[in-house]
Amino acid sequence: MDLAVSNRQRTRRVDTQALRALAVAVLDHLGLDAEVGIHLVSAREMAQVNWDFLRHEGSTDVITFDHGCTAERLHGELFISVADAVEQAAEFGTTWEEELVRYVIHGLLHLRGYDDLEPAKRRVMKRQENRLVAKFAETHPLARPAGRRGRGIR
């Protein structure tokens, strides 16, 4: 397993070792090997990545790049905006750490082949995402809920 987490933002202090441990646990649970880079970036850098690669304006929560995943091994990168996690935490009544966990799981599911562009596929992906978030909330401190209203399908 080759999984690296880089923190290139200054919005919040992030326990990158805990986030890496969570990602490894999720991959182990899914029975997958991986070569994945997780980049925690500022809203400004995310907006630039979003424009450069997708031609979308503005920041977004997570962008996933598949570099040749197979059924057994994921190979890709996740770009995660911590500033977006802070904003969405306020919107959804969660913590920004919970949002980071959700974005990591969401990105790994994309690398696994899940899609959220069509409503039916989005529901399937969101159910799996919610299951994994709930499962790892039991064992990983970053994933523990804040005890407020949760997130459903959006």
Task: Report pLDDT digits (tens) over 76-129.
Answer: 999 999 999 999 999 999 999 999 999 999 999 999 999 999 999 999 999 999
Q: With bands split at pLDDT 50, 70 and 90, how would you rate the model's confidence at 141?
A: confident
Contact partners, residue 138, CB within 8 Å, separation at least 6: none
Amino acid 138: pLDDT: 83
pLDDT at 139: 86
What are the two backbone dihedrals, phi and then psi, of residue 79, each rounded to the nearest 5 degrees? -105, 125
Of 51-60, 110-119, 145-154, minimum mean pLDDT range: 145-154
Residue 43 has pLDDT above 70, yes or no: yes
Single pTM value for the model: 0.92
Per-residue pLDDT band at 140 (split at 50, 70, 90): confident
- Give the pLDDT of residue 146: 60
Phi/psi of residue 11, nearest 5 degrees: -65, -45
Asked: is 2-143 a CATH 3.40.50.300 domain? The reply is no
Do β-strands 2-7 and 62-66 pair in parallel, antiparallel, or remain unpaired?
Answer: unpaired
Q: In degrees rounded to 5, what are phi and psi of residue 142? A: -65, -25
* Helix, strand and coil in the chain, % to nearest 5: 50, 20, 30
User: What's the mean pLDDT when you consider all of the chain?
Assistant: 93
pLDDT confidence of residue 2: 97
